[in-house]
Structures are given as C-alpha cells and as structure tokens.
Homo-oligomer: A and B are copies of this chain.
Amino acid sequence: MKKELHFERAEFAARVAAVKSEMGRRGIDILLLSEPANHNYLTGYNAYSFYTPQMVIVALNHDEPIWIGRFMDRISALMTTYLTDENIRAYSDRYVQSALSPYDFVADVAKELGGEKARIGVEMGGYYYSARAHADLVRALPLAQFVDADVLVNWIRIVKSPAEISIMRQAGRIADAMMERAIDTIEPGVRECDVAAAVYHQMMSGTPEFGGAYACTPPYLCIGERQIAPHAAWTDEPLPASTTINLELFGNRHRYQVNLSRSISVGKPASSYYKLADVVVEALNAGLESVRPGRTCSEVEDAFRHTLARHGFEKEARLGYSIGVGFPPAVGERTASLRKGDQTLLRPGMVFHMMPGLWLDDVGITITQSFAVTDRGHEPLTSTPRKLFVK
C-alpha cells in the first residue's frame, strides 16, 4: 500500500518530541488529542472521518503516538500515517451511534498505557471534544486526574518548519488562482452560486503543477447588502449592474490553508469607496512593515491601528490570527491573535492572516494578506495585488 506522507519521518519525530517535552514540563502522562489538525500534525493522518470519535494519544512512556478511530477508517490510518500496526487501534461499528461509547475504548487504551491513576491531558475547548466525551472518559477512568491541555499542541504548531512553509506557499498560489478566477467570473447577470462554483472549481483544481483540497470553511461571498454579513451564504440571484462584493477565499494544500480577501466593485464605485480602500491598504502595509521577530502581536496591531486612526477609522474585531494546518470547521489555531494586548513574540516561521476589514454602516471593504514571519521581516504568501478591484 502506497504511503502518502508529506513530511520526513525526522520532522514528525521532532514534533512528537516537542509535545512530550511540554507534557513533561506540565506533569502530564497521557495526552488525549481530539483536534483533527493535531492528529494530522503528529501522525500525518488525513481523512474526513473525525465526525465520529477519533483520538490520537501521546504517552510519555510510549514511543509513537497511537491513533484511535472507527474500523472503516483504519485503512486511511495505514495509508496516511507512519504509525506501526500496533499503534493503529480501530473500534468496531458496534460503538457508532449506539449505547456503547467509543470513549470506553479510548479509556481502555489510556489504562493500558498509564494505568488507572494517570494524569491525563484533554482538549477541553476543542471542536471535537464534546461535553459527553469528557463525561464518558471521567466515568471510565474514575481514578485518573484530568487536566486541561487545550491548545498545548497548537502552540507548538505555531512555528512552521521550512517544509510546512513550502506547502503554505503552494496553498497561497492556489488562493491567488482562486481570486483571479473569481474576478474573471464576476459580471452583471452571473448568479451568485455560479461565482461560488468557479471559486470551488479552482480551489480543488489548484494549478497545473499541483491540486488543492477542501478548505476549513466555505468561501465567503458577501455581495451587495450582505457585504456587512461576513459569514452569509450565497444565493441564486444574478449580480446587479452595480454592486460591491467582499470575497474571502482559502487555498488549501495538504490541509495547510492560506486565506485571501479582496473587495470587488461591479461598476464604478463611489470615490468615498476608493478612499476607504486606500486607507485599508495603507494601514495593512503599515502593519506588515512592522512585522519582525521579537516584536509582539500587539505591537503589529498598534502600527495598523495608528495608521487607521490617523484617517479617523477604527476596527472592532482583531486584526488577524495564526493559520496553518486545519480541518473544518475553522483554520484558526486558537493561539496568537494580532490584537491589542496579545504579548506573543513573533518568531520566524509563524504564519498569520492579517485581515483589515473595515465596515461602515452599509458597505465594507476587506483587503488582506497572509504572511510568514522571516528572519528580518515578513514573506507574503499570496501575490494578488493589494487593491480594490473594479469590473
């Protein structure tokens, strides 16, 4: 069976070692990871199977991580991870949506590794760690000590390796191709759903050299009066002769995602809208130019905010967030944000989506930039010009 691994074994080993080191520091014997991005990061596992219970266990006394999932996904574990057979543990269909809990199965593996009284880390705030998952585990392991280890792995993921940055550059090229395709497609009379169709086609087709993958969220096509509803669904309506569109698109390569937003005016926009675009680009560039290792996220946001304020504007939402490997429902790593007060120090290999959306009463504009922190500053991961597009 052909293995589909996108990183060297040594890189996976270094990731697992970093996690174990942090576990040791916190006195955690066994780490139960529910977040699919963490499964992928530590083992390579890639399948859309996490909607049934799935865990990766890292134990201080066990060399490799252990993957636990549904019986029919065992083949995906064999194909996409480096794990040896004994570290791939699949539960049978009897556990799926029935009275039995797959977490009993997980608890048995935890006991096998660490006994009844282990100190167990869990991801309390993870999307795939439900209140019931936790209750079932606590019931099955009454003598264990549970501690919240949410985002423990995410904070290790925040600094990307050269191999990861290389994949994210490909994701960025896909995002550029998607934006170009969207701008080509947008015309008065074209249905909104057909713009979405073109964008999705390009997301998967990628480039002639490499294909793409599904992103962590749908693309956001905020058109006309729905411009001010950033997560709205598109409709069947044809585009009018004159409107404004905010597009947020996501290139995805091997589960690594790069975000890209632009505003597009159909028909000539008001001069005040051009002016708004100029302000956003100026503030975005000020933010980007302030990026360098050793600065804090808060300092970068400050550079942006000061420029914005000079023009009489302010932005309520945070300016950006760390991105990387992800699965639905969201790519955000839930670690550092580019926002006032975030004291995270920038380090080479960190990747952020800086997204200055400016929303006035009934129009909005969004011109964004995903970038990697480098030794001396930043590297943009997309090359779409930072400007308002007019069709």
Chain B residues with CB below 8 A from A73, complex form: 229-231
Segment at the B interface, from A120-128, A269-277, A376-384: A120-128
In the complex, the count of this chain's copies comes to 2
Task: Scan residues 121-173 of chain A and give those whose CB is less than 8 A from a CB of chain B.
Answer: 122, 124-135, 148, 150
Check A118 for interface membership: any CB of B closer than 8 A: no
- Are A232 and B127 touching (Cβ within 8 A)? no
B50, B71, B125: the one contacting A132 at CB < 8 Å is B125
Is the CB–CB distance between A127 and B130 below 8 Å?
Answer: yes
Question: In angstroms, how far is the closest chain B Cβ from the Cβ of A346?
Answer: 18
One of B96, B131, B194, B205 near A194 (C-beta < 8 A): B205
Inter-chain CA distance A198–B200, complex, in Å, is 9
A229 — which chain B residues lie within 8 A by C-beta? 47, 73, 75-76, 79
Kindly state whether residue A72 has any CB partner on chain B within 8 Å: yes
User: Contact at A231–B135, with CB atoms within 8 Å?
Assistant: no
Any B CB within 8 A of the CB of A88: no
- The yes or no answer to A4 lying at the interface (CB within 8 A) is yes
Q: Is the CB of B218 within 8 A of A236?
A: no
Q: How far is the CA of A192 from the CA of B230 in the complex (A)?
A: 32
**A211 and B236 contact, Cβ closer than 8 Å, known pairs A150-B132, A329-B50:** yes
Please name the residue on chain B nearest to A131 by beta carbon: B134
Closest Cβ of chain B to A268, distance in Å, is 24
User: Once the chains are docked, how many angstroms separate the CA of A230 from the CA of B150?
Assistant: 30
A197 touches B205 (CB 8 A): yes
Are A76 and B231 closer than 8 Å at their CB atoms?
yes
Q: Answer yes or no: A180 CB below 8 A from chain B CBs.
A: no
Complex CA–CA separation, A127 to B205 (angstroms): 30
- Assess whether B131 is in contact with A122, with CB atoms less than 8 Å apart: yes
> Complex: how many Å from CA A206 to CA B148?
44
In the complex, the answer to whether A204 meets B214 with C-beta atoms within 8 Å is no
A389 at the interface (CB under 8 A from B): no
> Is the C-beta of A328 less than 8 angstroms from some C-beta in chain B?
yes
- Least Cβ distance of A336 to chain B in Å? 10
New contact pairs (12) apart from A191-B211, A193-B205, CB-CB < 8 Å: A48-B329, A75-B232, A76-B231, A79-B229, A93-B316, A93-B317, A131-B131, A131-B133, A132-B148, A193-B213, A211-B234, A211-B235
